[in-house]
């Protein structure tokens, strides 16, 4: 009897051990990340004929450095459940106050993170994720980064940030913590749906689940984000169109008389990769903060970018681009993101030129050096990306830097 029981127990254990690999084959978990560092000598100088002082300093940034975990389990019938937790990292050991870096800190799931399910119907997920507008816009941002010395978000989209949807502040002349005017955004509490790919064509839509209505406001402001995108990606061709609206995001009233101004943005993005490894891309934005009854007038701005990413020979390549932010018009210029201008009107435009030499050490590692320059018109105040400095109105800025990037 004892031998029979032992045999049954051993047989059962072997059966469990044998089944474990079969179960494990249905689920995968991967660790991935990016370490990116760039060092720059930055100059914020005065225009000729002014008495503003000249500034030069050095700055080390780690824009976009991250570590993530993603997993997927096959459920059968082509259905899968998946998760992703992606977090910003600051390997320099700096605190947020010390770093001068929008991506500083090491809080969990601060970047694209979600729980979702996908199958023949498409992909649906909920979490903290870049909006469809952002993804369309970024696809054509060839030759440029989002942030840092070679980042152009401050000109193109009002900055790049992870943001929430909360009830706008009811204090006069403030807008709460909802990041108005920002169109390159990673949005929390975002429900996203992506269609299947139909011979290169696909679409996506997203909406925030939080819809605040403060009891203190008579108009019951309901702040919400909507974002839509359609794209064609097949071989060397990419074309995308995006739209985004931020409902009741601009509140410039009081607790008794709030003003629920909304805003919207359009983007068109495209790129083409030639047979000689030359990629040409561009993106265009039309952004508007809509009219409010108490203030009147809209704020409008049009921005665009064109650039190249060219692996010329072997590991040697070049990235270059030109970015343009047009004049800011209307009476609500202060609500168009973090655009540091002396007010809306003429001579609030700016240009950014950039070029980098890139050397690929491997498929996952690269180094390089380059230069960027931002030219401000008389009433513009755009600074070098991520410089964390005070830029003089009408003054130009430039940066000479080097970088290293490793992904795993």
269-300 confidence digits (pLDDT tens): 999 999 999 999 999 999 988 755 545 567 88
Q: Which residue has the higher pLDDT, 142 or 393?
A: 142
User: Rounded to two decimals, what is the model's pTM?
Assistant: 0.84
Residues 6+ apart with CB under 8 A from 223: 165, 166, 167, 168, 178, 210, 211, 212, 246, 247, 248, 249
> Environment class of residue 25 by beta-carbon count within 10 Å: exposed (0-12), middle (13-18) or buried (19+)?
exposed
Mean pLDDT of 34-44: 91
The full set of domains in the chain, from first to last, is 32-407 (2.40.160.10)
Mean pLDDT of 361-374: 96
With a cut of 90, say whether residue 106 has pLDDT above it.
no
Q: How sure is the predictor about 311, in pLDDT bands with cuts at 50, 70 and 90?
A: very high
The residue among 157, 97, 161 whose CA lies nearest residue 130 is 161
In 89-147, the DSSP E strands lie at: 113-119, 122-130
Per-residue pLDDT tens digits for 315-341: 999 999 999 999 988 765 556 766 777
∠ CA 113-116-118, rounded to 5°:
130
Q: What is the pLDDT of residue 238?
A: 98
Distance CA 342, CA 328 (A): 10
With a cut of 70, say whether residue 239 has pLDDT above it.
yes
- Specify the DSSP element, H or E, that contains 265: strand 260-273
Distance CA 197, CA 219 (A): 42
Mean pLDDT of 374-391: 80
Q: How sure is the predictor about 134, in pLDDT bands with cuts at 50, 70 and 90?
A: very high
């Amino acid at each position: 009897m004892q031998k029979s029981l032992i045999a049954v127990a051993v047989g059962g254990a072997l059966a469990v051990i044998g089944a474990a690999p079969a179960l494990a084959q249905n689920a995968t978990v991967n660790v991935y990340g990016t370490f990116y560092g760039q060092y720059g000598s930055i100059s914020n100088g005065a225009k000729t004929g002014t008495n503003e002082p000249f500034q030069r300093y050095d700055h080390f940034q780690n824009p976009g450095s991250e570590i993530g975990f993603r997993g997927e389990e096959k459920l059968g019938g082509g259905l899968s459940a998946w998760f992703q937790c992606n977090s910003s990292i600051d390997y320099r050991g700096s605190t947020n106050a010390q770093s001068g870096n929008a991506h500083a800190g090491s809080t969990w799931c601060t970047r694209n993170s979600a729980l979702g399910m996908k199958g023949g119907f498409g992909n649906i997920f909920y979490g903290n994720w870049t909006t469809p507008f952002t993804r369309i816009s970024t696809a054509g941002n060839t030759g440029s980064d989002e942030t840092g010395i070679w980042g152009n978000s401050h000109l193109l989209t009002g900055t790049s940030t992870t943001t929430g949807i909360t009830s706008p502040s009811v204090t006069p002349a403030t807008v709460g913590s909802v990041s108005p005017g920002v169109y390159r955004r990673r949005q929390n509490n975002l429900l996203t749906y992506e269609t299947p790919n139909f011979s290169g064509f696909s679409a996506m839509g997203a909406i925030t689940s939080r819809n605040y209505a403060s009891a203190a406001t008579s108009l019951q402001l309901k702040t919400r984000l909507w974002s839509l995108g359609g794209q064609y990606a097949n071989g060397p061709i990419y074309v995308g169109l995006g739209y985004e609206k931020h409902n009741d995001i601009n509140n410039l009233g009081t607790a008794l008389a709030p003003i629920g101004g909304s805003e919207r943005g359009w983007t068109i993005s495209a790129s083409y990769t030639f047979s000689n490894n030359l990629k040409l891309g561009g993106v265009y934005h039309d952004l508007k903060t809509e009219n409010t009854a108490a203030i009147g007038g809209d704020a409008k701005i049009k921005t665009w970018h064109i650039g190249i990413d060219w692996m010329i020979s072997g590991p040697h390549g070049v990235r270059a681009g030109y970015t343009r932010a047009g004049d800011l018009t209307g009476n609500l210029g202060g609500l168009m993101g973090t655009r540091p201008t002396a007010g809306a009107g003429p001579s609030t435009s700016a240009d950014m030129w950039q070029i980098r030499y890139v050397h690929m050490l491997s498929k996952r590692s690269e180094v390089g050096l380059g230069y960027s320059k931002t030219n401000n018109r008389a009433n513009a105040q755009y600074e070098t990306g991520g410089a964390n400095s005070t830029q003089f109105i009408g003054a130009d800025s430039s940066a000479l830097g080097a970088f290293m990037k490793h992904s795993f």
